[in-house]
């Protein structure tokens, strides 16, 4: 690095890249993988046979949609708030059932990506024209602070796809505390969680032979080139996933294949990489019933229901706030 004084950051992305690539070891938050191209690549990942998470959770929601609808519904109606809504593919299983039952509800999809929210709203208008949709763009923390004031009727907060795994256990507890503080007595929190299992099954989910996951991670370099006038050559980096069955942590890295110095002109820095030096891009923590119960207790929540796919590969938990 050649700068000691940090520049004025125009975006959160710029600030995160500066701090992440001038620290050791280097890292960039996985949330910045999701630009327009990243969204497209992640949709492809979810369709891959190795990426079992989407299919397993879809199976749970489809099989138990009536039971879940009964849990969510109430006479005065409810607000269905989904954190990290994405394309809404799995949620539409629930929405279809809610429409059949003529439930009184409003859907509030939350995502950091404006592009994703616009696409989701458009598809919902075509598939479920009667559904009242209020997209909420922003980070989870920003939106949760706003939604804490929703007191008129029951809130059902969805957090699907095992997104909780993108946080360390300490971060997960803090995140769930924010969820708990945004909830009132009758509110519910419904979360998907990938389970510990055969380590090879987990590793294969992040290391597909078609190279889509590699392209998804390397797109971060392309985004820095485009938005921060950086000079990365994606071919100078390799994507490397690993899984530790003891801790239950899956991680992804971009690894420099040679010693090199890369200019990031918008930040006025040059970042030096040793040969085989890493940039940590993703983390996916896997859980079991015991660790989820511990997380919930630490955050002031209690488990009130649990549903699994037929192989107990993936589970969805329902939580209430401890009185």
- What are 241-259's pLDDT values in tens digits? 999 999 999 999 999 999 9
Q: Are residues 120 and 175 in the same domain?
A: yes
pLDDT in tens, 287-315: 999 999 999 999 999 999 999 999 999 99
Residues 6+ positions from 142 with CB-CB distance below 8 Å: none
Examine the domain organization and report whether 213 and 181 are in the same domain.
no
For 203, the token pair is 């590793």
Could you tell me which residues come within 8 angstroms of residue 101 by beta carbon, excluding any fewer than 6 positions away?
Answer: 69, 73
Polymer length in residues for the chain: 323
Same domain, 312 and 167: yes
Residue 231 in this model has a pLDDT that exceeds 80 = yes
108 plus 159 within the same structural domain? yes
Q: What is the pLDDT of residues 8-37, one digit of tens each?
A: 889 999 999 999 999 999 999 998 998 989
310 shares a domain with 165: yes
Tell me, yes or no, whether 281 and 311 share the same domain. Answer: no
Q: What is residue 4's predicted lDDT score, i.e. its pLDDT?
A: 47
Is position 161 within any domain? yes
224 and 174 housed in the same domain: no
pTM: 0.87
Rounded to an integer, what distance in angstroms lies between the CA atom of residue 247 and that of residue 216? 25
State whether 171 and 317 are in the same domain.
Answer: yes
pLDDT of amino acid 227: 97
- Decide if 259 is inside a domain: yes
Residue 273 counted as domain residue: yes
**Rounded to whole angstroms, how far apart are CA atoms 311 and 290?**
18
Structure tokens that stand for 149 in this block = 């004031």
Cα–Cα distance measured from residue 77 to residue 154, given in angstroms and rounded to the nearest whole number: 7
Let me know whether 117 and 218 are in one domain: no
Residue 214 lies in a domain: yes
- Report if residue 73 sits inside a domain: yes
Structural domains in the chain (count): 2
Distance from C-alpha of 110 to C-alpha of 81, rounded to nearest angstrom: 7
Considering the domain architecture, whether residues 186 and 275 belong to the same structural domain is answered as no
Cα gap 101→176, rounded to integer Å:
31
Taking only the tens place, the pLDDT of each residue in 53-83 is 999 999 999 999 999 999 999 767 999 999 9
- Together in a domain, 182 and 120: yes
Q: What is the CATH number of the domain that holds 96?
A: 3.40.50.150
Does residue 227 lie in a domain region?
yes
Measured in Å, how far apart are the chain's first and last C-alpha atoms?
51
Which residues 6+ apart lie within 8 Å of 161 measured at CB?
Answer: 53, 54, 57, 84, 86, 90, 192
Query: Which residues constitute the domain of residue 241?
Result: 12-32+201-285
190 and 291, same structural domain? yes
157 belongs to a structural domain: yes
For 287, list phi and psi in degrees, rounded to 5. -130, 175
The answer to the question of residue 173 being in a domain is yes
């Amino acid at each position: 690095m050649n700068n000691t004084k940090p520049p004025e950051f125009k975006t959160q992305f710029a600030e995160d890249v500066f701090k992440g690539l001038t620290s050791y070891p280097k890292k960039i938050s996985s949330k910045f993988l999701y630009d327009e191209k990243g969204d497209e690549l992640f949709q492809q990942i979810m369709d891959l046979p190795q990426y079992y998470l989407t299919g397993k959770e879809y199976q749970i929601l489809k099989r138990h949609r009536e039971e879940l609808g009964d849990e969510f519904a109430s006479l005065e109606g409810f607000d269905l708030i989904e954190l990290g809504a994405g394309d809404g593919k799995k949620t539409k299983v629930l929405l279809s059932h809610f429409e059949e039952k003529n439930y009184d509800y409003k859907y509030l999809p939350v995502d950091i990506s404006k592009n994703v929210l616009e696409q989701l709203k458009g598809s919902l208008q075509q598939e479920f024209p009667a559904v009242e949709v209020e997209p909420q763009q922003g980070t989870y923390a920003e939106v949760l602070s706003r939604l804490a004031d929703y007191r008129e009727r029951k809130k059902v907060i969805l957090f699907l796809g095992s997104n909780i795994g993108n946080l360390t256990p300490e971060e997960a507890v803090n995140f769930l505390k924010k969820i708990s503080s945004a909830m009132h007595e009758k509110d519910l929190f419904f979360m998907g969680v990938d389970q510990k299992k055969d380590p090879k099954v987990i590793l294969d989910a992040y290391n597909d032979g078609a190279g889509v996951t590699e392209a998804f991670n390397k797109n971060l370099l392309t985004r820095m080139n485009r938005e921060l006038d950086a000079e990365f050559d994606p071919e100078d980096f390799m994507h490397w996933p690993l899984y530790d069955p003891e801790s239950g942590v899956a991680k992804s890295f971009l690894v420099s294949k040679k010693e090199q110095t890369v200019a990031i002109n918008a930040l006025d820095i040059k970042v030096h990489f040793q040969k085989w030096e890493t940039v940590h891009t993703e983390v996916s923590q896997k859980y079991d019933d015991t660790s989820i119960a511990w997380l919930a207790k630490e955050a002031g929540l209690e488990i009130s229901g649990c549903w699994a796919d037929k192989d107990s590969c993936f589970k969805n938990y329902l939580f209430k706030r401890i009185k």
